[in-house]
Structure 1
């Protein structure tokens, strides 16, 4: 009979060996139950544990070290005692701490040393001011002679790699932590770079996590927190995020423990959050009128009696604030360059359905479509970009990312690059939004992006905008040379009124708008004719019908214009049928991924950009049936949605094919009859 033997963990031996090294380097290491500092202790306590609860995150060893520049680096170490339990990676070579459904993979976090250490490091990214953390895993086993064999995994977890972690190198002991080696180790860590492809993959993964978190958060507030309208929910998230951002050396981030749920007048939880937001905005040097508008809007929700009422020692406001910080904290702290508040808005308003006309107007552009518009408008580091119906500023966020990336690729002087980045955010973007609740989201979005909020204006772009900067250079015209737009459906000419006004205020450049395609086939004839009298239509792109799935089933086109150059009847217009953009969309509330690249989606989007700019020579994936170069009549205004003409005149080849098919059919019939006759004999 076979007796099953259980392999015993040698974790105590591994810990003894490793801690012996740390002691020999005279490092101030702390063991599982000991404290490094209150900030780190609190972060480990507040973050969800390796089993999904809270409060039980205890690395086996932890150290806080400084390099020669006096920068602090938390070191978190996790020990295991089995042969193959160092690290579990996914198919992309990343530490696999999430499941395929984008939920925490507690099995891996519990079982593997590196996975556990990276989990602890994310707790610090989420809940502390540290943005560079070293996660170390170590495990081992005894061979048949009793000799210990160990393996070590050293990973850098930071804001720059979105908390995923990067392997630093191969190590056989911990001597890289020895004070005499630590500076060169950190120098090596700081040279680690993710490839653009790796970063894109991680961003996609993080975006899906944000979607799931927002669904969970909104569901929780919707079901469990009574008396909060949709605007209140949006404002509470905005207020909580601003209050917890902080400004290094100037404004400390608001902690959950700062909210005492007091009933004292002037010291209720809402008062504390308002004071923190005011301190943040004061230090951001946001113009007085904009600051007052933000404070006024948020104060209306934060200081209401019900939300500050204390029950069982806690106000509803503190409870909601805690949920927001716990669920979303890491995503805005690691600085994702995404339309964060657009996702928030879509999720919050998703509960209403879209029965109200005003809400039906606010359908936010998916990020991959926003990026397409930005590229079609030829945005670069020197562009001046505006949007006349900015929504949550998703299009401006996409434009800002494109401008910053272009600047980083082309400016080699760090000092010059820093100045350019500030200029892009403060001077080269302008957005207009009329709905105050959505305007607040746009402001928050641009604050989260490092503050491109300077020139987001809460005015009617058709009636009240005069083309000038809203803040800063208020006497100067904004020199726009790129226009991007997803207009409200109910606007005149389906939104072509925005296009006419914006293009009319530009001297040069390009525009890319996504709009109901009926605006190009009869709903906006007068606007279109006036536009073509001054500007050229370069391309008309038919978009997939389900692009706004779950929000609207409207048919849309993207129209691309060259500004300030009259359209001639012989100008070539590129008509592209982009109904198949390579993505498959679903609309399932609980799905972890409602958007799947099933047919070269990224390549298709790039090909559309290339076709609009360079023409037919760039045809690779698309066929002549999907790409057609034609012309429009500038005096028509209803012929913007053309498709590739189908030649109905039969050719000799068609004739031969038809005759061949007929003869084959006739022979088949004759043979069939012969077989029947033979059977009858």
Structure 2
């Protein structure tokens, strides 16, 4: 019978490290101090509650000179290797999405994964090996041990993936490490696993944003809504860093000094300037960003020192501590969109104005981009950019197309640079929202795109805003979710953008009343030069929780006058396969309950290729018909009901009549019998 006697597991493990010539790397690697700093940072926020620091820390390098921190934690108790949740993930969160310090303290793997997340949050390392080891003495006095090896990365959102089963640490030896890393790099999450992780992270982001906003609102006086947005943007940009070029700004770098040049605001602006310089941001754009952020960061009040600390340092620390992990693990457009949706709530708009800046869900943005036929060679613009979500979707589509179709690595790199610098343009009037758009593009890996702080209706002449400012932007794809309070529910933006294009396609999502009379004059003018290609009725709850309006997507072919005999594709997409809720405590408010992915693919194919692509949808949901170009109020049509009776209808009617006759006759006879 096994006994729960704690053996000296550390001696066994350290013996392996010595035999594989790894022990010298425990203290001799210069970057080890950076790991220690990150772990201390995590502990200072409460991350070390209930648990010890890792028992061993290595920094190993593969054949491609990529560094991999390795954290090892020992537990000399049987059954304490790892604690997993029902999804098979390391259970380091409670039901309330708070750190589960009991599991982190008691289980070896959980502790190692916990501190691996500290490195994701507070260093530039994006791939970490977390190892847990436990053991016990059996009845004979022999040590029996278990080893759990997990890969913790920004690609798996810090949750960790099990690499495999190992009996010792020989996989870390120089001769085996490259092969081990190959196995690690081949790990992939299924879409279902990724969706589950996204839902978890969304709940965490919700809690973090609420905490951050309440904390700043209640405890930091003198900061307006715009100041909060600018502080978030500045703090994130300053802490992204560029490996080996621009170091991440740490809160310890802020000394809360009072002389000009040494104030915390000066230091943050200096780091942002270095980041933008290294990224090659156009000079005019860089100056605009720095000038806008400086208006908040260099004020006297925010740099005033009280109790040895400036208000800027306090707020910077809160932002990085609460949000840092989410952009360090590599925010997707889903996370970024959620971040910006929440931040919009901080801005002091009236309710009408707030409805005007409701963001397009990322999957709808991707749909618009596909309907506008965006590819690697497209030039895409958006006349009401908001947080640039549609441009991010377009950029991702263009980069994916380039990656799939350009085999030369050098040619692909040049194309990627061109896409980001020359093939995207957006306009946003509100300065605070404009700064969110800039931050969004930077988080998505680009800061060079032409996003302009201009009125697209009054101040835009169609030229590039940066770089080739004397040249027209050759737009051939237009995507838009306009402010609905503008003329014609926003159709005024559509008319101007389309009239400035020579070719291509456009896809807009707008209140459907624009196509049924409210924007009649704009619609008629648009059809004088452009073709309405498709009209798509969208689910009424797309913007649930933010706005409740019936919307349509209209797809246009640019610079071809609409003829009265033109066939328009009318599609009822009310059932897109998703079920939406607006419950704050729900783990996921968007669930695929009826082949949503397949429905969106079919919708794109129906718009482009027509009736032959009908599969999931029926002819009741897909209809090809005509509109009157001189009407302007007949853009929202549905398949006509067929009122012509069939033979089956006749048979049913006769059957129903005979049933009624027999029933009546039997009833009469029954009454007579009584």
> Structure 2-normalised TM-score?
0.91
Provide the C-alpha distance between the structure 2 equivalents of 1:123 and 1:216, rounded to a whole number of angstroms: 20
1:545-598 CA-to-partner distances (Å, cap 9, x unmatched) read 221122222221100112222222222211112222222223334444332323
- Find out whether 1:8 has 2:10 as its counterpart: no
When structure 1 is superposed on structure 2, of 223-232 and 382-391 the one drifting more is 223-232
Provide the C-alpha distance between the structure 2 equivalents of 1:122 and 1:262, rounded to a whole number of angstroms: 32
When structure 1 is superposed on structure 2, of 349-358 and 397-406 the one drifting more is 349-358
TM-fit CA distance, 1:677: 8.2
Question: Which of these residues, 238, 241, 245, is aligned with residue 246 of structure 1?
Answer: 241
Matched residue SS, 2:608 = helix
Counterparts of residues 161-180 of structure 1 (less than 5 Å):
161-180=156-175
1:624 equivalent in structure 2: 619
Provide the C-alpha distance between the structure 1 equivalents of 2:163 and 2:607, rounded to a whole number of angstroms: 43
Counterparts of residues 641-680 of structure 1 (less than 5 Å):
641-665=636-660, 667-668=662-663
Q: Could you tell me whether the CA contact under 8 Å between 1:385 and 1:483 is conserved in 2?
A: yes
Q: Could you tell me whether the CA contact under 8 Å between 1:102 and 1:592 is conserved in 2?
A: no
Provide the C-alpha distance between the structure 2 equivalents of 1:390 and 1:474, rounded to a whole number of angstroms: 19
Question: Which of these residues, 535, 542, 547, is aligned with residue 542 of structure 2?
Answer: 547
- Find out whether 1:221 has 2:209 as its counterpart: no
- Find out whether 1:425 has 2:420 as its counterpart: yes
When structure 1 is superposed on structure 2, of 119-128 and 85-94 the one drifting more is 85-94
Counterparts of residues 429-468 of structure 1 (less than 5 Å):
429-468=424-463
Q: Could you tell me whether the CA contact under 8 Å between 1:136 and 1:155 is conserved in 2?
A: yes
1:40-67 CA-to-partner distances (Å, cap 9, x unmatched) read 1121122269986669561122112233
Counterparts of residues 89-104 of structure 1 (less than 5 Å):
89=84, 94-98=89-93, 104=99
2:589 equivalent in structure 1: 594
TM-fit CA distance, 1:282: 2.6
Provide the C-alpha distance between the structure 2 equivalents of 1:618 and 1:101, rounded to a whole number of angstroms: 45
2:580 equivalent in structure 1: 585
1:279 equivalent in structure 2: 274
Counterparts of residues 235-314 of structure 1 (less than 5 Å):
235-314=230-309
2:408 equivalent in structure 1: 413
Q: Could you tell me whether the CA contact under 8 Å between 1:50 and 1:110 is conserved in 2?
A: no
Give the CA RMSD over aligned residues: 3.1
TM-fit CA distance, 1:425: 1.1
Runs of 4+ in 1 over 6 A off after TM superposition: 29-32, 48-51, 672-678
Provide the C-alpha distance between the structure 2 equivalents of 1:548 and 1:358, rounded to a whole number of angstroms: 15
> Structure 1-normalised TM-score?
0.90
Question: Which of these residues, 181, 187, 190, is aligned with residue 186 of structure 1?
Answer: 181
Provide the C-alpha distance between the structure 1 equivalents of 2:192 and 2:591, rounded to a whole number of angstroms: 17
TM-fit CA distance, 1:513: 0.3
For the structure 1 residues 528 and 16, does the alpha-carbon distance in structure 2 shift closer, same or farther, using more than 3 Å as the test? same
For the structure 1 residues 49 and 410, does the alpha-carbon distance in structure 2 shift closer, same or farther, using more than 3 Å as the test? farther
Query: Which residues of structure 1 form unaligned runs of 5+?
Result: none
Provide the C-alpha distance between the structure 2 equivalents of 1:667 and 1:30, rounded to a whole number of angstroms: 95
2:532 equivalent in structure 1: 537
- Find out whether 1:27 has 2:10 as its counterpart: no
TM-fit CA distance, 1:672: 6.5
Matched residue SS, 1:620 = coil
Provide the C-alpha distance between the structure 2 equivalents of 1:6 and 1:219, rounded to a whole number of angstroms: 53
Provide the C-alpha distance between the structure 2 equivalents of 1:371 and 1:192, rounded to a whole number of angstroms: 27
- Find out whether 1:475 has 2:470 as its counterpart: yes
Question: Which of these residues, 38, 55, 60, is aligned with residue 60 of structure 1?
Answer: 55
Provide the C-alpha distance between the structure 1 equivalents of 2:218 and 2:642, rounded to a whole number of angstroms: 58
Provide the C-alpha distance between the structure 1 equivalents of 2:510 and 2:53, rounded to a whole number of angstroms: 53
TM-fit CA distance, 1:95: 4.1
2:505 equivalent in structure 1: 510
Matched residue SS, 2:588 = coil
When structure 1 is superposed on structure 2, of 513-522 and 360-369 the one drifting more is 360-369
TM-fit CA distance, 1:245: 1.4
